[in-house]
A = this chain, B = another copy of it.
Amino acid sequence: MFKQGTPSSHFICVTSGLTKIYIEGYGKNLILALVKPVDYIFGPGVYLDNKHYYSASAVEDTTACLVDTSIFKKLIRSNPDFAEDFIKRTSAQTLFNFEQVISLTQKQMHGRIADALFYLSEKIYCTNPFNMTISRQDLADISGMSKESAIRILKEFKEEGILTVDGNIFEILNIKQLKQISETG
């Protein structure tokens, strides 16, 4: 959909499908979030230099509509309720980033995969047996590890009866134990 470093003149509203937004780092990508309908993609560059500071690409067939950022900015200036709501949203986003950073920097792989699984099940697909439409590489890019490592952790979870994987259908069997793993790092 767009690449890090390119000019950004619109903000994007995803109306169907699923999109990943990710930073292209040193040889690997870090997925910041998955965006599902109806949610917005609005990067920090909009109020700075009108560049994208992350890339976005569809992981499922996705439709979206674009809104010129100048319209958005006018709305912010003219409507205090809108501005306040926007600040609330970005605050929540920041909070989410905090949790993510702590997970990525202070937990080991098992805890990070656990967090990613909960993110997918609770926040993205919103069901428990859920259909993984993202690749193992994407899962690894969410959890900040190599895809081989991610696969190995999944295998361990399967062996311990925490998880079943049938094709791309994932089911978390033992939520409590997985929460435990998330907590203890």
Q: Which residues of B contact A105 (CB under 8 A)?
A: 25, 30, 104-105, 144
- Could you tell me if A106 and B44 are in contact, using CB atoms closer than 8 angstroms? no
Question: Interface of chain A, helix or strand or loop or mixed?
Answer: helix
Taking the complex as formed, is A102 at the interface, i.e. its CB lies under 8 A from any CB of chain B? yes
Q: Which residues of B contact A67 (CB under 8 A)?
A: none
**With A46-B91, A91-B48: A185-B26 Cβ-Cβ less than 8 Å:** yes
Interface residues of A, CB < 8 Å — how many? 39
- Could you tell me if B94 and A94 are in contact, using CB atoms closer than 8 angstroms? yes
Taking the complex as formed, is A54 at the interface, i.e. its CB lies under 8 A from any CB of chain B? yes
A101 and B77 CA atoms in complex are apart in Å by: 31
User: Could you list 20 examples of A-B contacts with CB < 8 Å?
Assistant: A23-B98, A26-B106, A26-B107, A27-B106, A27-B185, A30-B105, A44-B95, A47-B84, A48-B91, A53-B95, A73-B84, A76-B87, A77-B80, A86-B87, A87-B87, A90-B90, A90-B94, A94-B94, A101-B101, A106-B144
